[in-house]
Structure 1
């Protein structure tokens, strides 16, 4: 799903890269020095009465964006989607500038982006802390039961060879580990920074990859560990092993809609919150499989979800 950044997105990414040198942030999902690979940031603001739904540069974010847009359109609220924008650093800037109005987010990842030292990990505590850290022009709507968390994942062969059950077990083999993940994972608290801090996991090398390339690197033993989201269909299909995280580098990442207050009318909130109530982890994982493995069109999968859950 890689796409070339438009000139606008590149400009934003460059500015953010300079800012990131001073602070860093976290996280699908991730933080600090983030990669800006993906589609271009939409130019200008959406027309009055239209909700422009943005998405990050990975398939699940794009799928959820299509679901939000389909639900809004089904209730007579004009909504549009476009190309994936990029990493969190880029699409949050687009939201603040008003070139998008709504974007799917993940609660803990967003919290640790704004507050890298956040200690909350349970869903209610994460949400409460997040609402206090959001920019004044943004709000989050209801959290979905659906959760998609970052992981440290290995093949079953690697797990058996090194007797791995936890991330701490993997840390004992750091000098033998090549880690595959999106580029931004290197500098995020929900990434190598947090893994070093809490587990002393410092891999010998890092491969900056996206999407299916991460899965292939793990399968081909070009990487011995990888950052793969919990709803990724490859975990079940390839028998991968998610290592336990007892020190909570990765917190509760329930799906949350992040929206500009100016576009969050009562009707818009009612429509999106109804979607959130129906969006479970199992349903999201099943739709991810349709898009990523069966190569179904995300827009069609989204419309089917709306129809089958009485949201139309």
Structure 2
């Protein structure tokens, strides 16, 4: 709610599990049963009350789940040596998981969310099916690029039956491994996603296998730009984007269609006020915040001169 008061346009609840065994940790949010709706609805209504839109990222951690009990993946391959070996999903379990995503989407609609994002990045279950590094199946869900896409395809087909709002998909556009998905593979996936009605690709990278990544402000922006150009689909840029002028450059130069900001909004839920001052845009706070923000502009202009 602080970010909504701070005038963030879209607030995304990250990594909300569609099944208890699909949590990244035991403390993850969940939307796997009806009991979750009431609490999530209260949060959504408060976000919308202050003018924001509410999004939810539906996720299953697959082999990266850190929970009590068994974990599951496309193939019995651990994320890295020494970690738990997951059980290979059977065909019937795959169908059950697809329906878990569908039911989660239905609950998201009932709850009142404005946007759904499917987490298909960072080595979680959807990413595990997409990547040849983690998917060694020899049935219709593995092997060829068409087969590796099938799990995500069928999830979206089912979600489209219960959801008609904006649908995003997060992808690891670079897997930082020579035998992982290439940019051509990612463009193939992105075109297929567009054909299925997906509105935007949230372009992240890595974490399907351990890798050293050279990170710096905007290091993933070229990924969003390439997918946008080659697949003809809207993209979101993410990754160490903290400066308003940097964010504005990315959007105005048509390198991406929106900017995802995470850690900086954890540090400062009123970051949009800083951005408004730097970019010379009038931004009014909600309710009693309005006067306080109006009085703050002369001070902030000294800190953030145009």
Larger radius of gyration: 2
Q: Which has the higher contact order (CA 8 A, sep 6+)?
A: 1
What TM-score results when the alignment is normalised by the length of structure 1?
Answer: 0.28
What TM-score results when the alignment is normalised by the length of structure 2?
Answer: 0.29
